[in-house]
Structure 1
Amino acid sequence: MDFFFDDLPSTSMSTPKKGNKDSLTLDDTAYDLSRNTSSSVSLTEIERQHSSSCIDDISKKAQEMVEKINHGRTRDQEMMDSFQEKLTEKVTEMCQLMKEHMYIVYEKNSNEIQVKLQELSEVLENCSKLNQELLEASQALACLRDGLDINQRSEP
């Protein structure tokens, strides 16, 4: 808000500008004093009232500016609160979506792991069978070798 002090009348008793009817001169004051001695008192009173009125106007305008600033700050605070609330909602929503996606990935991985564990179990079972067959074959070979050793000793 701009204040223009050019609009305010001067309260000093300076030299008047030519053609200005509102300006006072010493001659006018003397003339007024000869006619009525209370005119200079009322002029001072008018100047005080005018100054008081100007001060009141400035004070009102300043108060209006303060109220506008406070209103703007209140509006800004409400906007920030709203933004924070919406941001919190969005973050919560995104976290929930990420959790759901994470659980979907866990489920998929669990199924794949289960398949791999089943395959591993089957391979280990086959390995156990083969190991048992190897032991049996080894024992059969050991018996055969022992039998051959006994035959070679008896033939001399």
Structure 2
Amino acid sequence: MKHLFLPVALLLSASAAHAQTSTTETEAVKKTVQSFFDGMRKGDSTLVRSTLAPGAVFHTLSTRNSQTKLLAENPSDFVKAVGTPHKETWDERISFDKVLIDANLASVWTPYEFYLGSTFSHCGYNSFQLVKLAGGWKIAHIIDTRRKEKCK
């Protein structure tokens, strides 16, 4: 019986350490995504840029007349637009639905509602792919859906 205690205790402590690491990594991933949207709200292109991995890719799915198209967006143009003064605050309100992590890769699923100032514009879901680089978690890919109705 004594011989079983040590392996079981080691297994339980290793499991607890893994859970702590996962929680820490999950929070770090969420912080990167939240910083991206904080930068958007503040019109802070430097903050937004700091969340992006080199070579990041942006896509959106557009549906018109029952036709869905995959549209590429230029991250540099987006960052520039964030930093260009605009009348209304760009306020994308997200919640974290799922955060999945394996080693240096994370996938994040967030429903959102987008407001220009206090006026509702559109809603949908974001899918983020993040990579853990020397500087921490960075966004490598964003793809989203956009619609005006049937939010949540």
TM-score, shorter chain, exceeding 0.5? no
**TM-score between both structures, scaled by the size of structure 2:** 0.29
**TM-score between both structures, scaled by the size of structure 1:** 0.29
Larger RCO: 1 or 2 (CA < 8 Å, sep 6+)? 2
Q: Which has a greater percent of helix?
A: 1
Q: Which has a greater percent of strand?
A: 2
